[in-house]
Structure 1
Amino acid sequence: MAVAIPKQFTISWLKRMYAQRELTPEAVAEEIARRAEADAGMNVWIEPPSMERMRPYVERLRAIDPQDAPLWGVPFAVKDNIDVAGVPTTAACAEYAYVPEADAAVVRRLVAAGAIPVGKANLDQFATGLVGVRSPYGETHNALRPELISGGSSSGSAAAVALGHAAFSLGTDTAGSGRVPAALNGLYGWKPSVGAWPTKGVVPACASLDCVTAFAHDLEDALLVDAVVRGEDAGDPWSRSVPRTPAERPAKLYVPEGPLAFYGPFAAAYEAAWESAVAKLESLGVPVERIDAGLFAEAAAVLYEGPWVAERWAGLGAFVEAHPGAAFPVTERVLRSGSAEGGRHDAASVFRAMHRLQELKLEAKRLLGGGVLAMPTCGGTWTREQVRRDPVATNSQMGLYTNHCNLLDLCAVAVPSGEAAPDVPFGITFFACAGREGLLEEAARLWAERKPTTLVAVCGLHMRGLPLEKQMREHRARFVREDRTAAAYRMYKLPTQPAKPGLVKTAAGGASLRLEVWEMPLETFGVFAASIPAPLGIGKVELQDGTEVPGFVCEAIAAQGAEDVTERGGWREAIAGA
Structure 2
Amino acid sequence: MALTTKTTSEWPRVLTLSWLRDKYAAKQLRPADVVAEIIRRSEADQAMNIWITPPSMSLIEPYLERLAQTAPEGMPLWGVPFAVKDNIDLAGVPTTAGCPDFAYTPDVSAVVVQRLVCAGAIPIGKTNLDQFATGLVGTRSPHGETHNALRSELISGGSSSGSAVAVARGQAAFSLGTDTAGSGRVPAALNGLVGYKPSLGAWATKGVVPACASLDCVTVFAHTLDDAMAVDLFARGVEESDPWSREIAHPFINKLPGRICLPKQTPSFYGPFAESYRLAWVNAVTAVEAVGLPITYVKMELFTEAASILYGGPWVAERWADLGPFIDSHPGAAFPVTEQVLRTGASPAYTAASVFQAAHKLQRLKLEAKQLLQDAVLVMPTCGGTWTRDEVRANPIGANSDMGLYTNHCNLLDLCAVAVQAGEAEVNLPFGVTLFATAENETLLCSAAKRLSSAFTDKQLLDNGGVEIDEEAATVAPQTAKIGAEATATTLVAVCGLHMRGFPLEKQMQACGAGFVREAESAAKYRLVKLPTTPAKPGMIKLTQGGAAIRLEVWEMPLAAFGGFAAGIPAPLGIGKVELSDGTEVPGFICEAYAEAGSEDITAYGSWRDAVDHNRT
Written as runs of structure 1 = structure 2, the 5 A alignment for 1:199-348 is 199-247=205-253, 248-339=255-346, 342-348=347-353
Q: Which residue identity lines up with residue 442 of structure 1 in the other structure?
A: S
Is the contact made by 2:184 and 2:221 (CA closer than 8 Å) also made in structure 1? yes
Which stretch shows the higher mean deviation, 242-251 or 224-233? 242-251
Is the contact made by 1:245 and 1:435 (CA closer than 8 Å) also made in structure 2? no
Matched residue, 2:152: 146
Matched residue, 1:430: 435
Deviation at 1:352, TM superposition (A): 0.3
Establish whether residue 116 from structure 1 lines up as the match of residue 129 from structure 2. no
Name the CA distance, whole Å, in 2 between partners of 1:172 and 1:130.
11
Q: CA deviation digits over 1:414-440, x for unaligned, max 9?
A: 001111011110000000001211111
Is the contact made by 2:149 and 2:169 (CA closer than 8 Å) also made in structure 1? yes
Deviation at 1:293, TM superposition (A): 1.1
Establish whether residue 167 from structure 1 lines up as the match of residue 173 from structure 2. yes
SS at match of 2:433: strand
Is the contact made by 1:193 and 1:410 (CA closer than 8 Å) also made in structure 2? yes
Q: Which residue identity lines up with residue 108 of structure 2 in the other structure?
A: A
Matched residue, 1:405: 410
Matched residue, 1:538: none
SS at match of 2:136: coil
Is the contact made by 1:150 and 1:181 (CA closer than 8 Å) also made in structure 2? yes
Is the contact made by 1:169 and 1:215 (CA closer than 8 Å) also made in structure 2? yes
Matched residue, 1:370: 375
Matched residue, 1:496: none
Q: CA deviation digits over 1:298-322, x for unaligned, max 9?
A: 0011100111100000000000000
Q: CA deviation digits over 1:317-366, x for unaligned, max 9?
A: 00000000000000001100001xx2231111100000000000000000
Matched residue, 1:547: none
SS at match of 1:436: helix
Name the CA distance, whole Å, in 2 between partners of 1:370 and 1:92.
40
SS at match of 2:440: coil
Name the CA distance, whole Å, in 2 between partners of 1:68 and 1:237.
31
Deviation at 1:257, TM superposition (A): 1.2
Deviation at 1:51, TM superposition (A): 1.0
Q: Which residue identity lines up with residue 195 of structure 2 in the other structure?
A: G
Name the CA distance, whole Å, in 1 between partners of 2:5 and 2:154.
36
Q: CA deviation digits over 1:504-554, x for unaligned, max 9?
A: xxxxxxxxxxxxxxxxxxxxxxxxxxxxxxxxxxxxxxxxxxxxxxxxxxx
Matched residue, 1:38: 44
Establish whether residue 63 from structure 1 lines up as the match of residue 99 from structure 2. no
SS at match of 1:372: strand
Q: Which residue identity lines up with residue 166 of structure 2 in the other structure?
A: A
SS at match of 1:338: helix
Q: Which residue identity lines up with residue 335 of structure 2 in the other structure?
A: F
Establish whether residue 27 from structure 1 lines up as the match of residue 27 from structure 2. no
Q: 2:162 aligns with which of 150, 156, 159?
A: 156
Unaligned runs of 5+ residues in structure 1 are 456-578
Deviation at 1:452, TM superposition (A): 6.4
SS at match of 1:243: coil
Deviation at 1:2, TM superposition (A): 3.6
Matched residue, 1:551: none
Name the CA distance, whole Å, in 2 between partners of 1:424 and 1:343.
42
RMSD: 1.3
Name the CA distance, whole Å, in 2 between partners of 1:345 and 1:273.
40
Matched residue, 1:521: none
Q: Which residue identity lines up with residue 414 of structure 1 in the other structure?
A: A
Deviation at 1:449, TM superposition (A): 2.5
Is the contact made by 1:337 and 1:344 (CA closer than 8 Å) also made in structure 2? no
Is the contact made by 2:132 and 2:211 (CA closer than 8 Å) also made in structure 1? yes
SS at match of 1:374: strand
Deviation at 1:245, TM superposition (A): 3.9
Is the contact made by 1:338 and 1:344 (CA closer than 8 Å) also made in structure 2? no
Name the CA distance, whole Å, in 1 between partners of 2:287 and 2:14.
26
Is the contact made by 1:244 and 1:435 (CA closer than 8 Å) also made in structure 2? no
Name the CA distance, whole Å, in 1 between partners of 2:338 and 2:418.
27
Matched residue, 2:507: none
Q: 2:393 aligns with which of 388, 392, 408?
A: 388
Change over 3 Å in CA distance of 1:47–1:11 after alignment to 2? same
Establish whether residue 448 from structure 1 lines up as the match of residue 460 from structure 2. no
Name the CA distance, whole Å, in 1 between partners of 2:171 and 2:66.
21
Matched residue, 1:90: 96
Matched residue, 2:525: none
Q: CA deviation digits over 1:277-312, x for unaligned, max 9?
A: 000000111011111011000001110011110000
Q: Which residue identity lines up with residue 310 of structure 2 in the other structure?
A: L
Is the contact made by 2:201 and 2:247 (CA closer than 8 Å) also made in structure 1? yes
Matched residue, 2:597: none
Name the CA distance, whole Å, in 1 between partners of 2:142 and 2:273.
28
Name the CA distance, whole Å, in 2 between partners of 1:160 and 1:440.
26
Q: Which runs of 4+ in 1 moved over 2 A?
A: 1-5, 244-247, 448-455
Is the contact made by 2:306 and 2:413 (CA closer than 8 Å) also made in structure 1? yes
Deviation at 1:260, TM superposition (A): 1.4
Establish whether residue 414 from structure 1 lines up as the match of residue 434 from structure 2. no
Name the CA distance, whole Å, in 2 between partners of 1:452 and 1:390.
37
Q: Which residue identity lines up with residue 329 of structure 1 in the other structure?
A: P
Q: How many residues align?
A: 453
Name the CA distance, whole Å, in 2 between partners of 1:280 and 1:97.
46
Establish whether residue 80 from structure 1 lines up as the match of residue 86 from structure 2. yes
Establish whether residue 179 from structure 1 lines up as the match of residue 188 from structure 2. no
Establish whether residue 198 from structure 1 lines up as the match of residue 189 from structure 2. no
Name the CA distance, whole Å, in 2 between partners of 1:448 and 1:399.
23
Q: CA deviation digits over 1:397-427, x for unaligned, max 9?
A: 0000000000000000000111101111000
Establish whether residue 8 from structure 1 lines up as the match of residue 23 from structure 2. no
Deviation at 1:5, TM superposition (A): 2.3
Name the CA distance, whole Å, in 2 between partners of 1:401 and 1:171.
19
Per the normalisation by structure 1, the TM-score is 0.77
Which stretch shows the higher mean deviation, 101-110 or 253-262? 253-262
Change over 3 Å in CA distance of 1:263–1:365 after alignment to 2? same
Q: CA deviation digits over 1:470-529, x for unaligned, max 9?
A: xxxxxxxxxxxxxxxxxxxxxxxxxxxxxxxxxxxxxxxxxxxxxxxxxxxxxxxxxxxx
Establish whether residue 128 from structure 1 lines up as the match of residue 134 from structure 2. yes
Name the CA distance, whole Å, in 2 between partners of 1:196 and 1:81.
18
User: Max radius of gyration: which structure?
Assistant: 1
Is the contact made by 2:251 and 2:446 (CA closer than 8 Å) also made in structure 1? no
Name the CA distance, whole Å, in 2 between partners of 1:15 and 1:218.
15
Q: Which residue identity lines up with residue 431 of structure 2 in the other structure?
A: F
Name the CA distance, whole Å, in 2 between partners of 1:104 and 1:57.
16
SS at match of 2:291: coil
Name the CA distance, whole Å, in 1 between partners of 2:374 and 2:74.
38
Q: 1:354 aligns with which of 356, 359, 362?
A: 359
Deviation at 1:259, TM superposition (A): 2.5
Name the CA distance, whole Å, in 2 between partners of 1:59 and 1:223.
27
Is the contact made by 2:252 and 2:447 (CA closer than 8 Å) also made in structure 1? no
SS at match of 1:110: helix
